[in-house]
Amino acid sequence: MSTKVKAPPKHQEHPMENLLRMDRIPHIWCPTCGLGTTVTALAAAFEQLNFDLKNAAIVSGIGCTGRVAGYMKMDSFHTTHGRAMPFAAGFSIARPDMKTIVFSGDGDLISIGGNHFIHSARRNLNITVICVNNFIYAMTGGQTAPTTPISANTATSPHGSYEHPFNLPLLAASSGAVYVARWTALHIRRVTTAIKEALMKPGFSFVEIIAPCSTLYARRNRLGDGLSLMKFYHDNSVIKHGADLHDVDIDFQSKIVVGKFVDIEKPTYIDSMNAGLSKKFGDKYKPYGGANGND
Ligand SMILES: Cc1ncc(C[n+]2csc(CCOP(=O)(O)OP(=O)(O)O)c2C)c(N)n1
Ligand code: SF4
Ligand SMILES: [Mg+2]
């Protein structure tokens, strides 16, 4: 009887290996965390746009979401907590020829980094911000964030949060963003389209992705595993493009309004600077960077 030993399977290339730093895989995220899906959407957006990654840089702050920058095979910056926005602001002004992307968590961007966020939007800096909202500070143990829905349990609100959360699309739009969309991590094709549109939009674009934290948020609130939570978010999403942003607050385990809310034209920070200084100094001023300026 012959005892043929089966040859080990050949290494199969992951379809997105060219976009990811494979030497960093396996990633640190928990099973059924929503973050992997959001990275897939970003990678798919790059692929579909045929985007040359040499023309973009990605910046993250600190947190589970903050690890994303380190997994993408492109210029990546893993900055300090809450400082993704100012770092990205400096980068986008210094390198107007490149697209600057911020990929970070709700806590990082809107709590400690909240002031930087609103001023980056106000100035209409040429930055695409992808904010993964899992309703808590996940990496540090599941504390209340400025996005935690009222009555949700967290490590610091064991009897249910009673703070009013921010409505992120309203915050972004009222601060000056020219593109604002919200989807859940299970709307993978919608998220991909939103990221593509945001990347192509000059100015401050904002995509909120509601994604489950299976380990801390789901467990503490007895909402099942990450998959159940993702299914809940998906099934309870109501698509309303152009919705009145005063009506898109998120309540605990309730309907979530998703869609493309804002898509407007406005001069970017560099365009406004060039226009203002050209008006003041005439031909003596050499326009900087941007679509029509010089370096
Ligand atoms: C100056 C500073 N303060 C606090 C922390 C601790 N810290 C690290 S990540 C984090 C919260 C991250 O929350 P979020 O941005 O929502 O990311 P998530 O882990 O939920 O993806 C905090 C408070 C820190 N690293 N630095
Ligand atoms: S703690 Fe939550 S957000 Fe962080 S990796 Fe685990 S499931 Fe994801
Ligand atoms: Mg978070």
CATH of the domain at 233: 3.40.50.970
CB of 141 closer than 8 Å to CB of 113: no
Ligand 2 nearest atom to the CA of residue 214, by list position: 7
CA distance 14 to 71: 14
In a domain, 30, yes or no: yes
**CA 95 to chain centroid:** 21
Q: Say which range, 5-14, 121-130, 280-289, has the weakest mean pLDDT.
A: 5-14
Ligand 1 nearest atom to the CA of residue 133, by list position: 16
Helix (H) or strand (E) holding 194: helix 188-200
Report the separation in Å between the CA atom of 143 and the middle of ligand 1, taken as the mean of its atom positions: 10
What DSSP state is assigned to residue 55? G
pLDDT in tens, 118-138: 999 999 999 999 999 999 999
In a domain, 5, yes or no: no
Report the separation in Å between the CA atom of 123 and the middle of ligand 2, taken as the mean of its atom positions: 32
In a domain, 184, yes or no: yes
In a domain, 55, yes or no: yes
Ligand 2 nearest atom to the CA of residue 217, by list position: 2
**Residue bearing the bigger pLDDT, 226 or 107:** 107
CB of 217 closer than 8 Å to CB of 135: yes
CA distance 248 to 127: 23
- How many structural domains is the chain composed of? 1
In a domain, 295, yes or no: no
Ligand 2 nearest atom to the CA of residue 226, by list position: 7
Q: Is 227 in the pocket of ligand 2 (CB under 6 A)?
A: no
Q: Is 68 in the pocket of ligand 2 (CB under 6 A)?
A: no
> Whole-prediction pTM value?
0.95
How much is the average pLDDT of 267-272?
98
Q: The tokens of 224 are what?
A: 């099942």
Least distant ligand from the CA of 81: 1
Phi and psi at residue 279, to the nearest 5°: -65, -40
Least distant ligand from the CA of 60: 1
pLDDT at 4 over 80: no
Q: Which of 91, 141, 83 is nearest to 112 (CA)?
A: 83
In a domain, 171, yes or no: yes
In a domain, 59, yes or no: yes
pLDDT in tens, 193-237: 999 999 999 999 999 999 989 999 999 999 998 889 989 998 999
CA distance 56 to 58: 7
How much is the average pLDDT of 46-56?
96
Would you state the pLDDT for residue 227?
87
Q: The tokens of 257 are what?
A: 């309004």
In a domain, 15, yes or no: no
Range of the domain at 162: 26-279
How much is the average pLDDT of 28-34?
94
pLDDT at 266 over 90: yes
